[in-house]
Amino acid sequence: MENTKSKFLYCFAIIIMFSVALLVGCSKEEGLALYQNSKNVDIEQNRDIVMDITYKFYCPGDTSKIEFRTLIPQDYSLRQKVKSIDFNLQPDNIYTSGNNKYAFFIFEERKHYFELSIDCRLCIYDYDLLKAQEIISQNAKIEDFENIEMFIKPESFIESGSETIKDIAQRLTGADKRDTVRACYDYVLSNLEYSGYNPDNTGALKALELEGGDCTEYSDLFVALCRASGIPARVVEGYTCEKGDRSIGHNWAEVYFEDVGWVPFDPTYEDSGADTSFHDIENNYIYMSFIRNDPSLLNFHYYSYYYWGDEPEVIKEVFIR
């Protein structure tokens, strides 16, 4: 009996060691397979999405040339998989910079009106703090290890170096990083009121002064408080699959934990009455940008352009099905 028990324990230990080795050494693709095959994950919650982005160019005057740049989605481990991207007008270049991916176009001698259509087919995955703790995402840790420090520094609209925000963050310090992040999250919910869409950039400090804002202010303040606490955090920009004007886009946040990597949080949705919490968010997000102030887009959102001659008008429309 004793020998049988010893053999059983030995075999069990070998299985555990082999499983850990597979987990630590997995690639991005294997990490996705791990996600899909986890007994704690409901694969039926994966969603196939078609996102149509249309840019309408109105050039009523004499516009001889336009250099146009737009964000396009890319694979993001455990969040989304891009199946295809099709353009009605072929880009002159597709490239990545930082954590973002772009398509670049040069339009010359175009008619007074023309359209650029981008058809994106993706699969998006249900991922939040609960899923991260169940899966242990080693991929996310490796992916951003080298530039993690940049997500602790203050920047425009994320004024984590301000004495006001540092004083608040100090009062929110918890027993560990998760407790601190939860306190920062709850502080945003308690001190901001959702005021509806605001096209202007306001920032974390102004959001505190106004005691409200839209998804941008909620995300900016939450990220600023995390950074002031020494915890890497970043604002994410993209789209959701909810009804409404998707062309506006949406901002949420991600926080970096050493044991599970980047984890998404959306204080705006919880404060707006959606089925969202600190630990659990819906499978509703299409990730486009991880850079709050993007020099590639001239610090604008989603797209930017230079023009020669008369200024064109550009209107973006987004449809998701």
Structure confidence by residue, pLDDT tens digits, 215-268: 999 999 999 999 999 999 999 999 998 765 688 899 999 999 988 999 999 999
Average pLDDT, the chain: 86
Give the span between the Cα atoms of 260 and 42, in whole angstroms.
19
- pTM confidence score: 0.85
CATH topology (fold) of 127-282:
C8orf32 fold (3.10.620)
Q: What is the pLDDT of residues 21-74, one digit of tens each?
A: 333 333 344 444 444 444 444 445 799 999 999 999 999 889 999 999 999 999
Task: Count other Cβ atoms within 10 Å, centred on residue 270.
Answer: 20
pLDDT band, very low/low/confident/very high, at 19 (cuts 50, 70, 90): very low
Residue labelled with tokens 């505190």: 208
Give the right CATH number for 48-123+297-320 from 3.40.605.10, 3.40.50.300, 2.60.40.2250, 1.25.40.10. Answer: 2.60.40.2250
Q: Where in the chain is the domain with CATH 3.10.620.30?
A: 127-282
Residue 184, pLDDT above cutoff 90: yes
Distance CA 292, CA 216 (A): 10
Closest among 51, 52, 42, 24 to 125, alpha carbons compared: 42
Positive or negative torsion for Cα 80, 133, 188, 204:
negative
Higher pLDDT, 163 or 33: 163
Burial, 137: exposed, middle or buried (Cβ in 10 Å; 0-12, 13-18, 19+)?
A: buried
What's the CA gap between 174 and 21, in Å, rounded? 33
